[in-house]
Amino acid sequence: MLQVAFIKENKEDIIKRLAKRNIDATEMINNAITLDEERKALQTSLDNTKAESNALSKEIGNLFKSGEVQKANLLKEKTILLKETTKNFEQELNNKVEALSELLYKIPNVPNPIVPAGNTDEDNEETFREGDIPKLHDGALPHWELAKKYNIIDFELGNKITGAGFPVYIGKGARLQRALIAYFLDKNTEAGYTEYQVPHLVNEASGFGTGQLPDKEGQMYHVTLDNLYLIPTAEVPATNIFRDTLLNESDLPIGITGYTPCFRREAGSYGAHVRGLNRLHQFDKVEILRVEHPDNSYKALDSMVNHVKGLLKDLKLPYRILRLCGGDLGFTSALTYDFEVFSTAQDRWLEVSSVSNFETFQANRLKLRFKNNEGKNELCHTLNGSALALPRILAGILENYQTEDGIKIPEVLVPYTGFDMIS
């Protein structure tokens, strides 16, 4: 959530940069400034009324002490009116604060100046590419056919148990899935991230804290009886560890990692491009998250990007990095890099990670601050990234590592799987 002071100081620049999201934010920004000015005026009126009421109460007490009962009673009638006025001002102020908060929740984060303008993923900028695309044998299969051939993932069984988008992993497929989770966690902790196990359901406050609410409530599974949400990513519970927290500058940076299943309704997702593991309602993901000093957050973003590059390089999968354009940028992000692995059998790129800097946007919603060396409170910067999301990584491995004799296992995973071939 943007700070009102930041909006006032950077009004024209904010409107200009939000235009990269294909949003004309002029009305929202002007309304936010107006609501804040009205809020301040009401607060001043309320404070003045309370001050006058307090002064009269003190004067009434003195009058009673001096025996001037009649004068005291006259002033008491005035204080009754002031109390009613105070009550009205408080109600108006609460309404104004609520209206301002609701508006601020609807304004997306301001894109970093290097975010390219654009409307769709076709306008994203490729910034890096690495790895050779393998040449597959004749008759090479997409991963959903490989899964059926080697009985390692059963999509129909998942559909029977729950519905489409809930696959069942079997035998070596389940072992490979577990191996990837363990490998990613080990690499993340080796890089200095502290491992956490977090809840898989969150409350409404947590959803608002990281920006899933009110923006993406339709994409989350809602347990209505308890008003809890199944997590769409470990980012939500992991970031909310720091909600309503005041850190010391010496505590920064903080890096954590965690594995969770993720649940997404993915409403409106249909077609060949979502077959198999390409788009699921339940999937596994290992996340990395950082809480940073504002001066260091973009250096930290580069570090996170390099870390994910290392994971994909170790797996020897061909991949590219895209800097997302304004139209493809997430609601809370100031700058995002997407990683895509090339699926040779499908002849297309599959997104496997997003690494983002949210600057102060989430921290302001979370009330996540640190006390700087001068003793003043500042908002932290938050960052997060997938390291990595498993479904499309698994799809890339199955398709790119397939041979006529079976599916080879990436060398770095063999110690985790205990086998080097699925056949």
Residue of 298 and 66 predicted with greater confidence: 298
Question: Which CATH number does the domain housing residue 54 bear?
Answer: 1.10.287
The residue out of 106, 139, 165 marking a domain boundary is 106
Nearest residue to 404 via CA among 420, 417, 421: 421
Q: Is 139 within the bounds of a domain?
A: yes
Residues 29, 172 share a domain: no
Number of Cβ atoms within 10 Å of the Cβ of 9: 10
Task: Work out the pLDDT band at 267, boundaries 50, 70, 90.
Answer: low
Same domain? 144 vs 283: yes
CATH number, domain containing residue 175: 3.30.930.10
Statement to judge: residues 208 and 346 lie in one domain: yes
Statement: residue 301 has pLDDT above 90: yes
Total domains, the chain? 2
Binding-site residues, in ranges, read 233, 264-266, 287, 351-354, 384
pLDDT digits (tens, 9 = 90+) for 137-178: 999 999 999 999 999 999 999 999 999 999 999 999 999 999
Do 192 and 89 have their domain in common?
Answer: no
Co-location of 96 and 125 in the same domain: no
Residues near 76 by beta carbon (within 8 Å), at least 6 away in sequence? 60
Residue 420 CB neighbours (<10 A): 12
Annotated binding site for L-serine: 233, 264, 287, 384
- pLDDT at site 12: 97
In a domain, 334, yes or no: yes
Both 274 and 205 in one domain: the answer is yes
Q: pTM, whole model, 2 decimals?
A: 0.92
- Whole-number average pLDDT of the chain: 95
Q: Tell me, yes or no, whether 112 lies in a domain.
A: no
State the residue range of the domain holding 18. 4-106
Taking residues 192-210, what's their average pLDDT? 97
Would you list which residues are annotated within the binding site for ATP? 264-266, 351-354
Domain final residue, candidates 106, 134, 168: 106
Instruction: Name the residue with higher pLDDT: 70 or 249.
Output: 249
Residue 100: pLDDT above 90?
A: yes
* Residues 102, 245 within the same domain: no
For residue 351 the two structure tokens come to 């997104």
Whether residues 145 and 43 share a domain: the answer is no
Residue 161 sits in the same domain as residue 282: yes
Asked if residue 145 and residue 19 are part of one domain, the reply reads: no
Measured between alpha carbons, how far is 315 from 305 in angstroms, rounded to an integer? Answer: 16
Tell me, yes or no, whether 143 and 268 share the same domain.
yes
